[in-house]
Amino acid sequence: MVSEAKHPPAQLGPMPDGLSSQQIVRRHILGSIVQSERSYLDSLKRILQEYQRPLMEAEPRILSVRKIRPIFFRLREIMQCHSMFQIALASRVAEWDSCEKIGDLFVASFSKSMVLDVYSDYVNNFTNAMALIKKACMSKPTFLEFLKVRKQASSVDRITLYGLMVKPIQRFPQFILLLQDMLKNTPTGHVDRLPLQLALTELETLAEKLNEQKRVADQVTETQQLARCVSDRSLSKLLNSEQISLILCETLIETVYSERGQVLKSKERKVFLFGDMLICANINVKGPPDISSLVPVGPKYTLKWSAPLQQVQVVEVGQEGTQTKDTLYQLGGVKRPGGSSGSGSIVLGPPRLYQELQELQHDLSVVEQVTLIVGTLQGTYQNLNTTVAQDWCLALQRLIRIKEDQIQSANKCRLRLQVPGRPDKSGRPVSFTVVFNTPSPVSKISWVNRFHLAKIALRDENTPGWFSAEDDGKTKAPFWCPLLACRMPVFTSKAQEWKAALHNPVQCALLGFSAASTSLPQGYLWVAGAGDSTQGQVDIFSLNRPTPRPVKSLQMGARVRCLEYVPEPTPSEDTETGPHNSTGVGNTICVGLDDGCILVYGSMDTAAQCLVTLRNPEGCPVLCLKHSGNFLFAGLRDGMLMVYERHPGGTSFIMLDVSLYLTVGSDPIRTLLALEGSVWASCANTVTVLDVSSLSTQRFEVHQDPMVSVAHMVRAGGGAWMAFSEGSSIRLFHTETLEHLQEINISTPSSFYNPKGQKSMRVTSLLLICQGLLWVGTAQGIIITLPVPKLEGIPKITGKGMTSLNAHCGPVDFLVALSSTLSPDLLKRDSVVEGHDSACGVEDRSDSSSQESLQQASISAQIDGKRKGRGVLLQYRLRSTSGLPGRPLTMRGEEASDSSLESLEHSMEDGSIYELSDDPDMWVRGRPCDRKGVRRDRVTSVAVLSGGKGFRRLREGSVATAAESTLMIWQLPLTV
């Protein structure tokens, strides 16, 4: 124990006069850090002084020493680390008003290997410690009474031993939140800004490693708990083997329906999704209340059924009637009458809503017939004519859309699975359908997505899909790596060299709610190719189906050098947003050509019409394009930088005029990078930073060899990675101080497959960092991923690189990130918006031909600012059916309530996995994270697409395919 007399805790002095608002906020955050650390140290002291010491000194013994030590394993070392940090923190706080620096203290204190070692040991032992406490409570009444007395003695907060011991698991996520707030209030150029970014990087790396260890430990415990309850020896042996991989497990509510679709019963089940198996188990009664109030008591399970994952199917709304007639169906264990025929659809949702929908559809067919009969009338009648009858039809169609929307909302939390059962007496396959209620729409999406990806992971190309030279013979679980979802050869009329590609995330036809969990991000892929020396070509692929589908090819008068996607400008608040303005500029694609032209295409036009052509005075080839705000920057081969400005008030296309012509250098400008308020332009071995507001420039050297050029630049957080025309190294620079922070040789992780080593390895493409990975494409066709932090710290490479075993035969021409975010409105369980004009029929028709149309203007309905339109899955604009004619014939009834859909809240002492994500509110599951009363749930679909010649597997004896151009798509798990 550190003596507080010799080392008093940190104490922030009185606030001096004349501080800026940011300085005041930073002092308050520092006070929170000091108070938080003091509270944490007090909690550690309470564990050691109020629990460990009395147990060790008790006479007679309450517990043996060999049981006490594992329970409190490594806690004293953790306290020692933070006691040292407390001493340094006190010194820094004392001089805060003169230095205002805290980031370097976190780096120095928590980057030591000792910190990771002691926390890792504690996290890995945590589940074992809880098990020992639980067992001791059940077998030692004196120990149970000891814990009860200690809880009563803690009159201030009544916190349990478990509540104290879970705090080390929560500590680093709490630090991250505090430092994020500090960074937001630290201006650019401040002495503490780079240290804070580095500290965030260190803490995130540490938290990620601990989180992964906690995740693995929890999964092993869950799997072992399940294995003990399985009587089947082969299944029990499989569950106890190291090959088994638990992907997801959750308590779901199974709902059993009668033959007429009425709910018979609902019961909790524990559902386990393994890499190749799905298991459902009954949950037995948990432990005694007096024990469960002190320490989490895990339930015991009884196996209900298990099935190979490949044979389990997810059944969505509208798919019930598409099953084969040779299959017998059981509905939640209740056999359907006449099952031998298997005809008819299965009622899997709320029966009342389905019945009302069927009635409306019947009435519509009748009214359509009446309309035809009315048209044959000879006389003229005021309320009985063709116009009135057509209004009836339109009103009924409107009600059907409302009912479909209600059904869709009611099914957002329902997971339907078709599970294989035992064959019948005649040997025919029998399947039964199980319906689960998930805690939230996000949970349902996660389940369907994990089902989809787990099946992809079982394919040959993903077993294994990645290799790491540092794995020491252990293969990384394929599910946690990007999975090769599909590869597609692209046949063109002439041999082409791909130059660039981009994702055009335009609005597509309406999709079903669950499509986000299995499909790739929606939109179109534009790929630029260069054929002979005089002509070029741009191919457009639709991404609205599981496999990219070519939909159009644009011929260019010159070779295509680059592409740039320019999103529609966001209207300012003072701009009138009437119907005549909302279809104004739109999203556009800019194409840079060898003849000096920049072609601007509308991204929502069926013909992909060229809206405007821009030319530079010299006709110099355009090598790179980048937009920033209202400006478009073009890098030319002669070292000139063209700056085009978007005029306000553009109508149906972007209006651009030359406003500036800057000389960056005498060498070609090969790549551009847009940052907040500045643009980086590379010329030979230097980079010029252009301030957009003042048009001032700053130049710095990034490579010592003047013959080496900067070929690629990507940015994440506070850093920018650069790759060069020669060599196998990539370098990291700070975006604010321009300081060189890290250098990585990409030959190292791939040298196993590259005998020549780094001499022949060269970077040909570099992908914007997505989901914590930096993607590197090489001249050998090999793709490498390097782990980097996801937060706004410095994107330093913090772990081992992975080499894809699926490679191209030639250079990787491009890497493109595809990303779409699900509308937050769809994540609300009660998402049927009130009001007669807000219903939107969410269709689930993947074969609709309208999905392949590039013309989107016709379906982009205008949304009144005062009205809430329904969000549509993976859409970039909201759509309302307010434009439909006719009034509703009836008012909608009250929504059916289902108490089983209520979300399961986590307690503040929740000891489950604490996952890091892009959303700070999602870090600690037990932490209330409402902002202004609304939880910021987000679901993002991400995929990575590479292009190059041919396909090959990096293994001995693999045969490469023909050298035609090939697209490969890697799918990543949804981030929620």
Between 398 and 157, name the one with better pLDDT. 398
Contact 903, 439 (CB under 8 A): yes
Nearest partner of 875 among 855, 860, 857, 858, judged by Cα = 860
User: In this structure, what is the dihedral angle of CA atoms 331, 336, 340, 342, given to the nearest 10 degrees?
Assistant: -60
573 band by pLDDT with thresholds 50, 70 and 90: very low
From CA 166, how far away is CA 40, in angstroms rounded?
11
From CA 783, how far away is CA 802, in angstroms rounded?
9
Contact 782, 729 (CB under 8 A): no
Contact 657, 645 (CB under 8 A): yes
Contact 948, 965 (CB under 8 A): yes
Position 12, amino acid: L
- Between 68-82, 626-640, 749-763, 786-800, the lowest mean confidence (pLDDT) is in 749-763
What's the confidence (pLDDT) of residue 608? Answer: 73
Contact residues for 799 (Cβ-Cβ < 8 A; gap 6+): 205, 786, 787
Selection from 193-202, 839-848, 938-947 with the highest mean pLDDT = 193-202
DSSP code for 513:
G
784 band by pLDDT with thresholds 50, 70 and 90: very high
Between 331 and 279, name the one with better pLDDT. 279
Between 353 and 582, name the one with better pLDDT. 353
From CA 196, how far away is CA 871, in angstroms rounded?
38
Tokens representing residue 32 in the block: 């929170």
Rounded mean pLDDT of 638-657? 68
φ, ψ (nearest 5 deg) of residue 944: -125, 135
Nearest partner of 433 among 521, 315, 545, 518, judged by Cα = 315
Contact 550, 488 (CB under 8 A): no
What's the confidence (pLDDT) of residue 552? Answer: 86
**How many distinct helices (H) and strands (E) make up the chain?**
17, 40
* Greatest alpha-carbon span in the chain: 107
> Residues 156, 162, 165, CA angle at the centre, nearest 5°?
95
Between 756 and 79, name the one with better pLDDT. 79
pLDDT tens across 80-125, in order? Answer: 999 999 999 999 999 998 889 999 999 999 988 899 999 999 998 9
Contact 226, 239 (CB under 8 A): yes
- Between 231-245, 444-458, 690-704, the lowest mean confidence (pLDDT) is in 231-245
What's the confidence (pLDDT) of residue 942? Answer: 86
From CA 104, how far away is CA 68, in angstroms rounded?
37
- Between 183-192, 443-452, 765-774, the lowest mean confidence (pLDDT) is in 765-774
- Between 337-341, 753-757, 849-853, the lowest mean confidence (pLDDT) is in 849-853
The 719-724 sheet, strands edge to edge: 710-716, 719-724, 729-734, 740-745
Which single residue is written with the structure tokens 């059904």? 407
CA 592 vs. chain centroid, Å, equals: 32
From CA 203, how far away is CA 207, in angstroms rounded?
6
DSSP code for 867:
S
pLDDT tens across 620-646, in order? Answer: 999 999 988 878 899 999 999 988 887
Residue 202 host element (H or E): helix 193-227
What's the confidence (pLDDT) of residue 329? Answer: 36
What percentage of the chain exceeds 90 in pLDDT? 24
Sign of CA dihedral 594, 599, 603, 606: negative
What's the confidence (pLDDT) of residue 68? Answer: 92
From CA 351, how far away is CA 319, in angstroms rounded?
16
874 band by pLDDT with thresholds 50, 70 and 90: very low
CA 694 vs. chain centroid, Å, equals: 37
From CA 752, how far away is CA 741, in angstroms rounded?
27
pLDDT tens across 478-529, in order? Answer: 567 899 988 888 866 555 678 888 988 865 444 445 566 777 787 888 998 8
Position 866, amino acid: K
549 band by pLDDT with thresholds 50, 70 and 90: confident
Q: How far is CA 795 from CA 361, 766, 881, 930, in A?
A: 56, 14, 45, 29
The rounded radius of gyration (Å) of the Cα atoms in the chain is: 31
The overall average pLDDT reported for the chain is: 75
Tokens representing residue 585 in the block: 């500029």
Does the pLDDT at position 250 exceed 60? Answer: yes
Long-range contacts of 61-68 (CB under 8 A, 24+ apart): 62/140, 62/142, 62/143, 62/146, 63/136, 63/140, 63/143, 67/132, 67/136
> Residues 312, 313, 314, CA angle at the centre, nearest 5°?
130
Contact 906, 535 (CB under 8 A): no
Tokens representing residue 421 in the block: 């059962």
Query: HEC string of 577-627?
Result: CCCCCCCCCCCEEEEEECCCEEEEEECCCCCCCEEEEEECCCCCCEEEEEE
What's the confidence (pLDDT) of residue 570? Answer: 67
What's the confidence (pLDDT) of residue 878? Answer: 19
Does the pLDDT at position 853 exceed 50? Answer: no
Rounded mean pLDDT of 908-915? 25
Contact 332, 255 (CB under 8 A): yes
Long-range contacts of 265-270 (CB under 8 A, 24+ apart): 266/437, 266/900, 269/304, 269/436, 270/226, 270/299, 270/301
Tokens representing residue 795 in the block: 């994107």
- Between 32-36, 465-469, 594-598, the lowest mean confidence (pLDDT) is in 465-469
Tokens representing residue 187 in the block: 């201006």
Q: Helix 167-184 to helix 103-110 angle, to the nearest 10 degrees? A: 150
Q: Before 648, cis peptide (omega within 30)?
A: no
Between 284 and 574, name the one with better pLDDT. 284
Does the pLDDT at position 704 exceed 80? Answer: yes
DSSP code for 346:
-
Q: How far is CA 36 from CA 74, 82, 97, 122, 171, in A?
A: 21, 12, 20, 20, 9
Contact 649, 613 (CB under 8 A): no
Helix (H, G, I), strand (E, B) or coil at 475: coil
pLDDT tens across 579-625, in order? Answer: 334 445 578 889 999 988 999 888 765 567 788 888 887 889 999 99
Sign of CA dihedral 767, 771, 774, 778: negative
Helix (H, G, I), strand (E, B) or coil at 974: coil
